[in-house]
Each structure stands twice: as structure tokens, then as C-alpha cells.
């Protein structure tokens, strides 16, 4: 092992401990009163706490998904330069699609999901936006998210709505159950990591092969299934073999809004002030 790998691990682990400690000290205003959650939301919170991921089948109807797939095509088409596309032209993304689509805005403001995010982060409000994405099979495409990674070392939560039926061919979401837990992360950095890493939240296939494979969840399913996940766990969109996959994903942040994020989002129509969605 190269010497500087140890140094990087040490820096990563120290950052983890610090992030863990300060995770709840930044972001928006703390919850003023306890949220009134439904039984279903409590189940989601328990599952997310234990596993880091929960799948809720049939959250949207087939008809809603058909409509939203067509909306995504026109949002990507209309966004032109503001759409992000990977090198292989497989992964097409528009961030903050709720700014141009009332249907996407409805999903972005879904109270069932937003309240789960608030309960998880203990925040009154959370900045968020919704990614509209179309994944097309292209030879050499790395999959949605461009390979194995954690989104951050501290809190991050996402809600992904499949708008296509998803098989092992068209890029299912993959997640290592339990990898969102602090102890798992620390063990991951200190003990398991045998590769050098250019970026402390990105992992090679060789490294991921050493993680407990029994924890690996490959989320195949139907259009309309909702996948809730703590995105500080190890995950990726599996590289595609055929077909395409549409999805909407809400990104929640437990941090004050930053201009850096704003640069990656779709401009508001008419040049209105670029404030994030953050209402409860
Ligand atoms: O779309 C997916 O399946 C994975 C996306 C992903 O890696 C991410 O949201 O960070």
C-alpha cells in the first residue's frame, strides 16, 4: 500500500468523526415541535435508520408515470445547455426540474416524503430540488451516478421515484444496506480500504467487491416504486445492458443553500430569484 493512502484514510476518518459530531449543528432551524407522523412514515424512519434504504412499491400509478416520462423528455429537450450529459451520452439530467413543471413540483413537495426528511434531519425546513433523469443504454456508460460512491460523509437523504419498470438490464439502483452507519463508514475507511482514492467518497469495483455482498441490494421493480435512501451509504446506478430508465429524485440538504449548488440547477423561468424550495 502506498504511504499516502494511509494519510488519506486518516484524513477521511477524522473528517467522518468531525462530520458526525457536527452533522446536526448546521442547516436550517431545528424542529420546533415533534412532527405528527403516520404509521407508514414511522415504519419508513425505522427501516431507514436500520438499513439506510426503503422501497415503497406502487407509490405512483402507471398512468402518472407515463405522463411524467413524457414531461421529462420535454424538460430535457427544453433545458438544452442546462441539461447535464455524461461522456457516453447515456445519463441525461436536469436539476431542479420542479421549476419548470408543476407535476414535478408536486412530487418535490410531497408531504409524506418531506416530513420523513424533516424527521430524519430534525429540521423545520430542508433545502431541496428534484432531478429529472433519463438513462439510455450506451456501450461504456458507467451508470447513473457514474459508479460506486457515497454522496457525502454526513447526512444526505434522497427519494427516487422510478418512472420505468426496472430490471437488471436498464440500470437498477444498488445499495449496501447498513453502509450509512457511522461505524460502517469508519471501518470502511480504516480497515477495508485497500485502494488509493482520488476522491474520498468514490470507490472502485475492486474495493466494493470486498464489502459484505450479503448487504448488497439491487432494486429492480416497477414504474411508480419509490426508493428512499440515506445517500451517505455506498450506492450507484448499475451500468445498463439495454433499454432506458426514467426517474425523478429529490435531493435534500441539511445545509444552508449555497451558490455552488445554484450553479448546477435550472434557472428559474423569467430570471426570478434563484431561491431553493424549502417549505415544510
Ligand atoms: O439513479 C441511480 O440509480 C443512482 C443515483 C445516484 O447514484 C445518486 O443519486 O447519487
pLDDT tens per residue across span 49-81 = 999 999 999 999 999 999 999 999 999 998 877
CATH at 148: 2.60.120.620
**Relative to the CA of 131, which ligand 1 atom is closest?**
9
Cα of 151 to ligand 1 centre, how many Å?
A: 9
pLDDT (0 to 100) of residue 87: 87
Residue 19 has pLDDT above 70, yes or no: no
Cα 171 vs. chain centroid, distance in angstroms?
A: 15
Question: 236 pLDDT band (50/70/90 cuts)?
Answer: very high
Q: 104 near 132, Cβ under 8 Å?
A: yes
279, part of any domain: no
Cα of 180 to ligand 1 centre, how many Å?
A: 15
Instruction: Check if 27 has its Cβ closer than 6 Å to any atom of ligand 1.
Output: no
Exposed e or buried b for every residue in 185-222, given b needs 16+ CB within 10 A?
A: beebbeebbeeebeebeebeeebbeebeeebebebbbe
Please give the tally of structural domains in the chain: 1
174, part of any domain: yes
Instruction: Report the range out of 11-25, 243-257, 260-274 with the highest average pLDDT.
Output: 243-257
pLDDT tens per residue across span 218-227 = 999 999 999 9
Instruction: Check if 145 has its Cβ closer than 6 Å to any atom of ligand 1.
Output: yes
- Cell for 68? 411524467
162, part of any domain: yes
130, part of any domain: yes
112, part of any domain: yes
Instruction: Check if 129 has its Cβ closer than 6 Å to any atom of ligand 1.
Output: no
276, part of any domain: no
Domain that holds residue 264: 3-29+38-268
Instruction: Check if 172 has its Cβ closer than 6 Å to any atom of ligand 1.
Output: no
217, part of any domain: yes
Q: Considering the chain, what percentage of its residues have pLDDT values greater than 70?
A: 83
pLDDT (0 to 100) of residue 11: 73
Q: 248 near 132, Cβ under 8 Å?
A: yes
Instruction: Check if 173 has its Cβ closer than 6 Å to any atom of ligand 1.
Output: yes
Q: Which residues pair with 229 in a beta bridge?
A: 53, 158
129, part of any domain: yes
Residue 16 has pLDDT above 60, yes or no: yes
Instruction: Check if 158 has its Cβ closer than 6 Å to any atom of ligand 1.
Output: yes
Question: 34 pLDDT band (50/70/90 cuts)?
Answer: confident
Amino acid at each position: 500500500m502506498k504511504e499516502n493512502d494511509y494519510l488519506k484514510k486518516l484524513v477521511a476518518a477524522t473528517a467522518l468523526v468531525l462530520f458526525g459530531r457536527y452533522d446536526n449543528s448546521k442547516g436550517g432551524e431545528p424542529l420546533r415541535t415533534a412532527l405528527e407522523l403516520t404509521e407508514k412514515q414511522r415504519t419508513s424512519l425505522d427501516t431507514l435508520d436500520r438499513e439506510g434504504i426503503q422501497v415503497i412499491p406502487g407509490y405512483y400509478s402507471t398512468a402518472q408515470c407515463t405522463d411524467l416520462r413524457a414531461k421529462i423528455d420535454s424538460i430535457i429537450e427544453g433545458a438544452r445547455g442546462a441539461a447535464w450529459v455524461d461522456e457516453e451520452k447515456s445519463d441525461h439530467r436536469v436539476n431542479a426540474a420542479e421549476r419548470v413543471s408543476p407535476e414535478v413540483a408536486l412530487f418535490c413537495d410531497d408531504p409524506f416524503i418531506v416530513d420523513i426528511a424533516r424527521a430524519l434531519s430534525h429540521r423545520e425546513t430542508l433545502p431541496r430540488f428534484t432531478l429529472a433523469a433519463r438513462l439510455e443504454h450506451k456501450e461504456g456508460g458507467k451508470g447513473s451516478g457514474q459508479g460506486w460512491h457515497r454522496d457525502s460523509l454526513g447526512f444526505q437523504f434522497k427519494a427516487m421515484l422510478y418512472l420505468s419498470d426496472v430490471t437488471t438490464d436498464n440500470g437498477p439502483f444498488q445499495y449496501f444496506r447498513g453502509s450509512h452507519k457511522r461505524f460502517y463508514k469508519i471501518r470502511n475507511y480504516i480497515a477495508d480500504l485497500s485502494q488509493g482514492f482520488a476522491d474520498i467518497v468514490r470507490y472502485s469495483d475492486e474495493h466494493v467487491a470486498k464489502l459484505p455482498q450479503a448487504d448488497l441490494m439491487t432494486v429492480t421493480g416497477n414504474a411508480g416504486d419509490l426508493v428512499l435512501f440515506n445517500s451517505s451509504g455506498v450506492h450507484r446506478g448499475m451500468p445498463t445492458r439495454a433499454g432506458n430508465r426514467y426517474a425523478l429524485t429529490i435531493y435534500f440538504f441539511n445545509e444552508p443553500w449555497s451558490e455552488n449548488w445554484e450553479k448546477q440547477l435550472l434557472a428559474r423561468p423569467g430570471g426570478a430569484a434563484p431561491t431553493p424550495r424549502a417549505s415544510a
